[in-house]
């Protein structure tokens, strides 16, 4: 029997893989992929809570839709930033993005 | 019983492909496994009886966001593609932090007492979602449109490189 | 309701397994005698120049960007269309405002030439 706990732990696992990707990768595009994994994990949690704690309502679904909208906007602007920086510096490696350091 | 087997199958697909996204050294392969993860999560939504969200997951994540990420890779790749997705020097620290966070999350989930409801799930979720979006969540709904507008204008401005010759 | 998805699941499974079986069979059956001539990209024709992974034009990204924005818009349009008759005029006005805001974005993209092939 699959309970709420299974879904929550799967969501937690996916979140931590995404966090690892976001922290340990050199390429800016790979970091954005890690962030997408984290947002997906959050959506799994929202829908699992909605299914098991309040199945007669769709609050979790509506929240998940807004998370998806924000993820789309975030990835669009994030990649545009990466492309803009790439044009100046010819690199997407995050270690080379050091304008704020001196 | 069948649903248990299907859950574990989907869970293994999601966890395996998510690990591949992070561990592979070719960023195009990472993007392909990202699509597999998104399709697996969509299957999980079907298990959670969220049919509309499963379709949205396929449409937006697997269909649009993954394409955008692949285009981002195509526009910025340099040098050997086989080594385009390497780890930085914080590899082990990040691993310890992620593993520690996972153990913490797991401990908190397993020790919490959740009020499971035994009501049956909704047959179809599209109609109730429409009612909620257009009555209770009107302001977030219009704010989402403004967010998309701002993101689109900003991304076009940034991607075209304003003030520089093409 | 969930039983209806079993067909889709079986379809996915067959679609994933079938090409693997075909490729594995071909790998087992075919003769393996590689020669430099066979490994060249075009056996007759011009030699290829440079690497396969070259940089693409920015126009691709701009198209994909506009596609993503309107893809997300359909997520909101679809439930509205399902409940159109019962929601009434207020929801219609809301949706008109929603679409109008995104049409401003389309107009901007058009004006900036993001829809043209440069």
Q: What is the ipTM of this complex?
A: 0.91
* Whether B78 and B129 share a structural domain: no
Sketch the domain layout of chain A as residue ranges.
Answer: 4-96
The DSSP annotation for chain C comes to: -GGGHHHHHHHHHHHHHHHHHHHHHHHHHS-----HHHHSS-SSSPPP-S-S--PPPHHHHHHHHHHHHHHHHHHHHHHHHHTHHHH-HHHHHHHHHHHHHHHHHHHHHHHTTTTS--
Chosen for mutation from A69, A75, A82, A91 (greatest number of chain C CBs closer than 10 Å) is: A69
Report residue C46: phi and psi, to 5°.
-70, 150
Q: Are residues C104 and C62 in the same domain?
A: yes
Whether residue B4 sits in one domain with residue B78: yes
pLDDT tens for each residue of C23-34:
999 999 988 888
Tokens of C47: 């030699």
pLDDT tens per residue across span C33-68: 888 877 777 777 777 777 666 667 778 888 889 999
| DSSP summary character for residue B164 | S
What long-range pairs does C2-5 form, CB within 8 A, spacing at least 24? C2/B3, C2/B46, C2/B47, C2/B49, C5/B46
Residue C65 and residue C103 in one domain: yes
Q: Is residue C86 part of a domain?
A: yes
Name the residue in chain C with its Cα closest to that of A84.
Answer: C58
Q: Do C2 and B76 touch (CB under 8 A)?
A: no
Model confidence pLDDT, tens digit, residues A51-74: 999 888 889 999 999 999 999 999
Residue B140 lies in a domain: yes
> Helices B27-47 and A28-53: crossing angle, nearest 10°?
10
| CATH code: domain of residue B23 | 1.20.120.1200
In this complex, the chains that touch C, judged by 3 or more CB pairs closer than 8 A, are A, B
Query: For a pLDDT cut of 90, what percent of chain B falls above it?
Result: 51
DSSP string, A9-59: HHHHHHHHHHHHHHHHBSBHHHHHHHHHHHHHHHHHHHHHHHHHH-TT--H
pLDDT reported for residue B32: 92
Contact call for B67 and C75, based on CB within 8 A: no
Predicted confidence at residue B166, as pLDDT, reads 46
Task: Give the count of domains, chain C.
Answer: 2
Beta bridge partners of B87: A25
Q: Over range C66-93, report the average pLDDT.
A: 90
What average pLDDT does this structure show over B15-23? 93
CA distance B57 to B53: 6
Q: CA-based angle B105:B109:B113, to the nearest 5?
A: 155
Nearest to C102 among B47, B76, B149 (CB): B149
**Mutation target vs A (from B60, B102, B112, B139; most A CBs, 10 A cutoff):** B102
Dist CA A18 CA B152 (whole Å): 25
Fold held by A4-96: Helix Hairpins (1.10.287)
Total structural domains in chain B? Answer: 2
Overall average pLDDT of the B82-90 stretch? 79
| Nearest Cα residue in chain A from C72 | A69
Is residue B161 in some structural domain?
yes
Residue C85: inside a domain, yes or no? yes
Please give the pLDDT value at position B125.
85
User: Domain range holding C33?
Assistant: 2-39
Q: Which residue of B has its CA nearest to A95?
A: B88
| Statement to judge: residues B75 and B152 lie in one domain | no
Q: Rounded to an integer, what distance in angstroms lies between the CA atom of residue C86 and that of residue C96? A: 17
Tell me B119's DSSP state.
P
For the segment B29-39, the average pLDDT, to the nearest whole number, is 93
State which residues form the domain around B16: 1-82
What angle is formed at CA B99 by the lines to CA B104 and CA B33, rounded to 5 degrees?
A: 120
Reported pTM:
0.89
Spatial CB neighbours of C62, under 8 Å, sequence gap ≥ 6: B156, B159, B160, C109, C114, C115
Residue B96 counted as domain residue: no
Q: Is C69 a member of any domain?
A: yes
Q: Read off the pLDDT of residues B122-153 as tens digits, 9 standing for 90 and up.
A: 878 888 899 888 888 999 999 999 999 999 99
Per CB-CB distance under 8 Å, the chain A contacts of B137 are 62
Q: Quick check: is B22 in a domain?
A: yes
Which residues in chain B touch residue A85, judged by CB atoms under 8 angstroms apart? Answer: none
Q: For chain B, which chains pass the contact test of at least 3 CB pairs under 8 Å?
A: A, C
Residues B78 and B26 in one domain: yes
In a domain, B109, yes or no: no
Q: What is the DSSP letter of A94?
A: G
Smallest Cα–Cα separation from B56: which of A25, A58, C44, A56?
Answer: A58
């Amino acid at each position: 029997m699959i309970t709420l706990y299974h879904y929550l732990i799967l969501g937690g696992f996916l979140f931590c893989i995404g966090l690892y990707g976001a922290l340990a990768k050199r390429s800016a595009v790979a970091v954005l992929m890690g962030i997408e994994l984290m947002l997906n994990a959050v959506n799994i949690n929202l829908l699992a809570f909605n299914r098991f704690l309040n199945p007669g309502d769709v609050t979790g679904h509506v929240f998940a839709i807004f998370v998806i909208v924000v993820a789309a906007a975030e990835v669009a602007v994030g990649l545009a930033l990466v492309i803009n920086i790439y044009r100046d510096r010819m690199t997407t490696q995050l270690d080379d993005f050091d304008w704020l350091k001196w | 019983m069948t649903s248990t087997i299907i859950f574990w199958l989907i869970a293994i697909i999601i966890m395996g492909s998510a690990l591949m996204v992070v561990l592979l050294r070719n960023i195009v392969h990472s993007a392909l496994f990202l699509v597999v993860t998104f399709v697996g999560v969509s299957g999980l939504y079907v298990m959670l009886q969220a049919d509309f969200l499963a379709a949205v997951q396929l449409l937006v994540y697997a269909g649009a966001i993954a394409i955008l990420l692949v285009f981002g890779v195509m526009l910025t790749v340099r040098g050997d593609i086989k080594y385009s997705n390497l780890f930085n020097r914080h590899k082990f620290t990040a691993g310890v932090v992620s593993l520690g966070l996972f153990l913490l999350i797991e401990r908190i989930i397993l020790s919490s007492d959740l009020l499971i409801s035994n009501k049956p799930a909704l047959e179809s979720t599209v109609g109730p979602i429409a009612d909620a979006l257009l009555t209770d969540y009107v302001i977030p709904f219009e704010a989402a449109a403004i967010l998309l507008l701002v993101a689109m204008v900003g991304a076009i401005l940034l991607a075209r490189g304003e003030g520089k010759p093409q | 309701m969930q039983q209806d998805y079993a067909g889709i699941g079986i379809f996915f499974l067959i679609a994933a397994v079938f090409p693997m079986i075909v490729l594995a069979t071909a790998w087992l059956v075919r003769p393996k005698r590689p020669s430099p001539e066979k490994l060249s990209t075009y056996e007759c024709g011009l030699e290829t120049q440079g690497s396969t992974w070259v940089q693409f034009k920015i126009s691709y990204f701009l198209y994909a960007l506009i596609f993503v924005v309107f893809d997300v818009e359909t997520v909101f349009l679809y439930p509205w269309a399902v409940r159109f008759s019962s929601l009434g005029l207020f929801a219609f006005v809301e949706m008109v405002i929603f679409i109008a805001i995104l049409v401003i974005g389309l107009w901007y993209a058009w004006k900036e030439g993001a829809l043209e092939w440069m």
